[in-house]
Structure 1
Amino acid sequence: MRLWIAIHLPQLPLEVFCPRWSADHCTVVLEQERVVALSQAAYDAGVRIGLRRGGAIMLAPHTQFQQRSLLLEAEALQAAAMALLQFTPQLAAAEEATLLLDVGASLRLFGGIRALCRKVAGSVRALGFTGTLSCAPTARGAWLLARSNAGRSLKMDTLARRLDVLPVDLLPPVRAYLGWLEGIGCMSLGELRRLPRPGLQRRCGRAVLDMLDDAHGARPEMHEWLQAPASFRARLELFDRVENAEALLFGAHRLLLQLTGWLSAHQLAVERIHLQLEHERGRTACPPTLIEILLAEPTWKDAHLVRLLKERLAKQELVAPVIGLCLEAPQVQPMAPPSESLFPEPGGSKEDWQRLLELLAARLGPENVLQAAPSSDYRPEYANTWVSIQTRIRPADARAQLPPDLTSLPRPAWLLPKPVPLLMRDHRPYYGSPLRIRSTGERIEAGWWSTLQTRDYFIAEGEDSAYYWLYQDRHVGEQAPRWYLQGLFG
């Protein structure tokens, strides 16, 4: 099934140049001293599209004016297109700030056309833009429905009925001939299509007929698909000096949405991201603040990255006001295929567990969330060290470091940070109560290259039926070897 989604961004100039604009404030975007976009408050004051600057000042003296820049609009449209690549790799830019998405192959993945439209609209809103969304079996049909906010059509006959009632001036090639069309009473696309084709082609050119054929599926459509760059780097210029780090989350979320689309287009997952907070330039310039997030498990979804950034920004202290953001993905790897297990793992998947650890590390600090790092040493206090959760340890290397005969020997669940010397009563070690030896001895002699240790380990039982791990130090020259408590069994 071939199905297209079209996103038309009618307020793109206003939202690009005034990202914090409000409908309650008079905001106007000018091009060559004429109004090209305006807020609702400016419209209520009498300002209209095409009005000159002086007329807008007379109608609304407190209007805030911004100059239009086609370069900034193109960058904003490119950012929106990059974010929408997460839904389909077949995305093209059309006329008048409209994006076309071929989503026929993505319907089952995202749960149908309604769920997919909600996700696409949610991504556009998260980027800070307001757009008109429509879907149709043809790309040009979806473009016409989005330009006129005429709803959605999933079948060709429904699309044809909706297109017939649309105004004729929606087609860009027709606008130069509106006077002639009004003179003959042709005001809708349906009436335009019923005109004799040879005469219409001689009057208006072939482009009008091609667009009509494209919209009704009578001609194959050709598109130039958007190609994601080989590496990711996105920058966002802030329109005000931000002195609170938590206020940067909205801009960072916009950059993360672009990263998600880029990862999906290349079928990659990110392992490390860098967010640079750019400060003032000129005499008071200072180097950008770098926020680095290292992931234990690679991901390509923005929700988890947003939570991690939120925790990091909540603890970040700004050395100077921030005027720009820059996001990079220096470390990526191929996206892992989904699990083929028939039944889900109890208690969540491995990815859920890693996301929890990463969230704790972002909230508490990576130095306060530790993981075990086994080492090839027979001495218990050196056989296991604790490192930050952000330190990557490959499971194969960890297993290879363990001595081959160590896994069969009993080890306590709780190893004391420092051995506790024990008292001797009636020639037996004492810890709250006399301890009885319940196992044969295990001799460990290691550390000759650093700290030599010669010990005999035993499992002992107290009167409370608790089991303890003891050792007897066998240092040469010591008259009476002492007993030490090393660990507790669960």
Structure 2
Amino acid sequence: MLLAPQAQFQERSLPLEAEALQAVALALLQFTPQLAEAEESTLLLDVGASLRLFGGIHVLCRKVASSVRALGFTGNLSCAPTARGAWLLARCHAGRALKMSSLERRLEGLLVSVLPPARQYLSWMEGIGCLTLGDLYRLPRPGLQRRCGRALLDMLDDAHGGRPELHEWLEAPASFHAKIELFDRVENAEALLFGAHRLLLQLTGWLSVHQLAVERIRLLLEHERGRTAGPPTVIEVVLAEPTWKDAHLVRLLKERLAKQELDAPVIGLCLEAPQVQPMAPLSDSLFPEPGGSKEDWQRLLELLSARLGPENVLQAAPKADYRPEHANAWVSIQEKIRPAEARAQLPMDVTSLPRPTWLLAKPVPLLIRDHRPYYGSPLRIRSTGERIEAGWWSDMQTRDYFMAQGEDHAHYWLYKERVIKGAELETRWYLHGFFG
């Protein structure tokens, strides 16, 4: 206390420690499905089959360390040709060994107290001058087994590769549901992003081990508990394209949390993945798509939806109707429109009918100058007329549509109506759209 008077002490909680270790294990499943829990809060990862995918052992170690830090934990990371060897090096901060010869040299100088089965015999070992694993390994095996038991020899053999190592690999749950308790009450929604990122890392590991991609996630913000406690605040993110990468999900949640107003302080977070599907294989195309891939485009749309709201990012959903106002329908980008359904909604001759890129919500009446419609300049008709008729119940009954060109070479979509005014038939022109 004299050296660190500002230090704060917390009562140890073994259940919370086990829960934290499980959270780290679930997040690290994104690097390998072969992960096992070992003694003294240690995780063993068999990454032999993952080295090429992640760019080698050094890059993989950096990614693993970064994931652990992102979860809010610190750990000692090591690697070795054997699982027990890596465990011993990590426990002693003894670095990494990529070859068996290097591992044996590093094990040589480690203290015998690092082996759990040897700790009850430390006094005897000190009495005979056996202080390191190298000294222990050179003792006669029959006498050492009689004195200390078989477990000590088995652990030594595991570290040196003297026998095959068997592990009970972690099995990820069939459905994803993760939660964390916050250290304090949080009243600002943006401050919840760090905790949400921790949950998303666990989701990434769960998706990877099951070879799944998520289409919809649900973040629950838990408030004060008790009789007067209200229901949790639900933030739901729907993706246009399934993903299994946490970076994109973090960006979407960041945008949603920035707009979220909290009715009460938050004391806990819970993340669910109610909608998943099998992970799509990577593209086998030799050359990248110009302008980015389809996934890049979908990620941009999802980010815009999170920032602007799903009701403000729309996609075309044309209806099977010749009346332009009814055919020109738009829905949220989050709604799924299958290609077969889109084709079924359109008339068979839709490709032969000129339609503008931008259809005005309300037609604009045009002036008539020298018997020609006028919009900034006299408009010249460039197409034959297309008559569109509707029933007596509709405001629009008969219109003749034309493509017109102005002096600036811009193209417009006009229609002509004939209105009976008194005893005469009056012609009126309207602007209804612009061609790209």
Q: What is the TM-score of this pair, normalised by structure 2?
A: 0.95
In the other structure, the counterpart of 2:185 is 241
Deviation at 1:448, TM superposition (A): 6.7
Return the alpha-carbon distance in structure 2 between the equivalents of residues 450 and 89 of structure 1. 63
2:279 matches 1:320: no
Return the alpha-carbon distance in structure 2 between the equivalents of residues 453 and 237 of structure 1. 64
Deviation at 1:471, TM superposition (A): 1.2
Return the alpha-carbon distance in structure 1 between the equivalents of residues 93 and 205 of structure 2. 26
Deviation at 1:474, TM superposition (A): 5.3
The letter for the 2-side match of 1:78 is: Q
SS in 2 for 1:67: coil
Please, which of 407, 428, 431 is the counterpart of residue 482 of structure 1?
428
Q: Any residues of structure 2 matched to 1:265-414 within 5 Å, and which?
A: 265-414=209-358
Return the alpha-carbon distance in structure 2 between the equivalents of residues 282 and 447 of structure 1. 62
In the other structure, the counterpart of 1:17 is none
Return the alpha-carbon distance in structure 1 between the equivalents of residues 420 and 334 of structure 2. 42
Return the alpha-carbon distance in structure 2 between the equivalents of residues 353 and 43 of structure 1. 58
SS in 1 for 2:353: coil
Distance 1:489 1:64, change over 3 A: closer
Deviation at 1:398, TM superposition (A): 1.6
Please, which of 144, 152, 160 is the counterpart of residue 208 of structure 1?
152
Alpha carbons 2:363, 2:432 under 8 Å: kept: yes
Deviation at 1:450, TM superposition (A): 5.7
SS in 2 for 1:135: coil
Alpha carbons 1:369, 1:388 under 8 Å: kept: yes
The letter for the 1-side match of 2:348 is: P
Please, which of 84, 88, 99 is the counterpart of residue 43 of structure 2?
99
Alpha carbons 1:251, 1:325 under 8 Å: kept: yes
SS in 2 for 1:407: helix
Identity percentage over the alignment?
81
Deviation at 1:415, TM superposition (A): 1.8
2:161 matches 1:217: yes
Return the alpha-carbon distance in structure 1 between the equivalents of residues 87 and 32 of structure 2. 17
In the other structure, the counterpart of 1:177 is 121
Give per-residue Cα distances to partners, 1:256-279, cap 9 Å, x unaligned.
000000000100000110000000
2:91 matches 1:159: no
Please, which of 18, 26, 42 is the counterpart of residue 74 of structure 1?
18
Deviates more, 1:327-336 or 1:444-453: 444-453
Q: What is the TM-score of this pair, normalised by structure 1?
A: 0.85
Deviation at 1:468, TM superposition (A): 2.0
SS in 1 for 2:27: helix
Give per-residue Cα distances to partners, 1:370-400, cap 9 Å, x unaligned.
2222221111222122222222222332233
Output the aligned Cα RMSD. Answer: 1.8
The letter for the 2-side match of 1:468 is: Y
Alpha carbons 2:215, 2:239 under 8 Å: kept: yes
Return the alpha-carbon distance in structure 2 between the equivalents of residues 441 and 433 of structure 1. 21
Return the alpha-carbon distance in structure 2 between the equivalents of residues 191 and 421 of structure 1. 99
Deviates more, 1:402-411 or 1:223-232: 402-411
Return the alpha-carbon distance in structure 2 between the equivalents of residues 231 and 474 of structure 1. 64
Return the alpha-carbon distance in structure 2 between the equivalents of residues 465 and 182 of structure 1. 97
2:400 matches 1:456: yes
Please, which of 219, 236, 257 is the counterpart of residue 201 of structure 2?
257
Deviation at 1:451, TM superposition (A): 5.4
SS in 2 for 1:125: helix
Q: Any residues of structure 2 matched to 1:40-79 within 5 Å, and which?
A: 42=1, 44-45=3-4, 64-79=8-23
Alpha carbons 1:274, 1:328 under 8 Å: kept: yes
Return the alpha-carbon distance in structure 1 between the equivalents of residues 53 and 259 of structure 2. 37
2:79 matches 1:135: yes
Deviation at 1:314, TM superposition (A): 1.2
2:31 matches 1:87: yes
User: Matched residue pairs, number?
Assistant: 434
2:383 matches 1:424: no
Alpha carbons 2:35, 2:46 under 8 Å: kept: yes
Return the alpha-carbon distance in structure 1 between the equivalents of residues 431 and 99 of structure 2. 78
In the other structure, the counterpart of 1:231 is 175
SS in 2 for 1:331: strand
Deviation at 1:473, TM superposition (A): 2.5
Alpha carbons 1:454, 1:475 under 8 Å: kept: no
User: Which residues of structure 1 form unaligned runs of 5+?
Assistant: 1-41, 46-59
Return the alpha-carbon distance in structure 2 between the equivalents of residues 463 and 85 of structure 1. 64
The letter for the 2-side match of 1:144 is: L
The letter for the 2-side match of 1:125 is: R
